[in-house]
Structure 1
Amino acid sequence: MERRGLDAHGYFEREGSLGRVQGAFGPVVAAARERIGEAYGQRLHSAYLYGSVPRGTARPGRSDLDLLLALHHEAGDEDRDTAEVLARGLDQDFAEIDGVGILLYGKDTLLSERERCDLGWFLACLCTPLLGADLAEHLPRYRPDSLLARETNGDLAAVLPRWRARLEAASTPDEYRRLSRHFSRHLVRTGFTLVMPRWGGWTSDLAESAEIFGRYYPERAAQMRAAAAAALHPAGDPAVLHAYLEDLGPWLADEYTARHGTKTPR
């Protein structure tokens, strides 16, 4: 029987925990906690892990470390510069991770009504508390419905032109690999949230997401499985990226809008 990430009442369960962090990643998580506190001091409200590390599925030397920092104020240039230095230092000091991503938001934004079904849901359901008081205590519980689908990934049509510009600016295999990883992840997650209300559950596993999507769109299943594979093992082939932008991406954007509508403008 599939475990669909929901509790007995049909609400999302928080998917990660510090108890799931594998031993290889314990030192980098401990260092992140300490360095975040030192770097931001009184500016910081709370810090969170998300992604494969708190889910316990990270691969040493292959996975990145993903962090969300909630500040008492809206992030400014100094805060972003601090995050860049922090991320670079963690990445350089720990071979277990391949890159560090840090999201910065003011706590008022994270708790705002506008972000209730996007950033608020993300924090409450996909982020694991690392430091400070948990903002999820001030957020509602969530179900896998069409409103959530719309507000999380209902902006693909607006994203695609930016992707085209990034692809046009790229020229090296390493740049293509980075874009492949990013585009592939986004497309698979969007494909999954397209069918999430019908499936009635949640998963962050990309391969599983692609398989679930394929049950509802068998004619696109092979493309989505290939995108899930590319997200884990990105290749420096621009032809793959052009196919995303010329075929799978536009089709997915149109289908998403037809089924769930367009994300509320930010």
Structure 2
Amino acid sequence: MLLWATWSVVSASVATAAEVRVAVAANFAGPAAQLAEAFHAASGHTVQISAGSTGKFYAQIRAGAPFEVLLSADEETPQKLIDEQLAVPGSAFTYAVGQLVLWSARAGVVDGDGRVLASGGFTHLALANPKLAPYGAAAIEVLKARGVLEALTPKLVQAESIAQAYQFVYTGNAELGFVALSQVAAPGQAASGSYWRVPASLYRPIRQDAVLLQAGAASSAARDWLAYLRSAPARAIIAAYGYGQ
């Protein structure tokens, strides 16, 4: 509460409004857009969002991309950026804990227990690149835990990001795929198709950390944005999209 009170005072003056350049993990694009609107209404600051894979953002930041804040899909990347002196020490924190789902755009395809994985009654299964995207790595863990990875490997369709994995399923290029809960069950909207909310016991927690990058170290707007993400109003929005905290 103290942090929120401090943020409210610091950000109240629209006269000092500025723009914050934020790299956002693809799974969090929807919540980030809503958070940016609420933050702008309260502070006057504008948040410029770029959504994509955490792995690619890491490479871009190392190459000098002028992002001021990273909302990562994992906790390792922000720490690597701090270790490499590309992010501000002590600024990283977990803003969300992701929820993996197995989803089909068609009703009745995915059952409530994920038994469809063992049935093999499909041709393509989409997932994000496990080397770049934590949700993709989590999907591989689930397939291993269910004992079906070897059998399903020929059917795997690897996407660049979880956003592209969603598109593969949405367009019918894959009958089903592993995506984030926030992509299929937005607040106030009925979930389309069918999905299995994968038990958290089948994969390591997807702790998504935010970090202040060196490009934003001197930006009060960037610091205000990070403080806002830890406020009660922001936490409520994040929880509404199905993220743990």
TM-score (normalised: structure 1): 0.27
Report which structure shows greater RCO (CA 8 Å, sep ≥6).
Answer: 2
Greater share of strand: 2
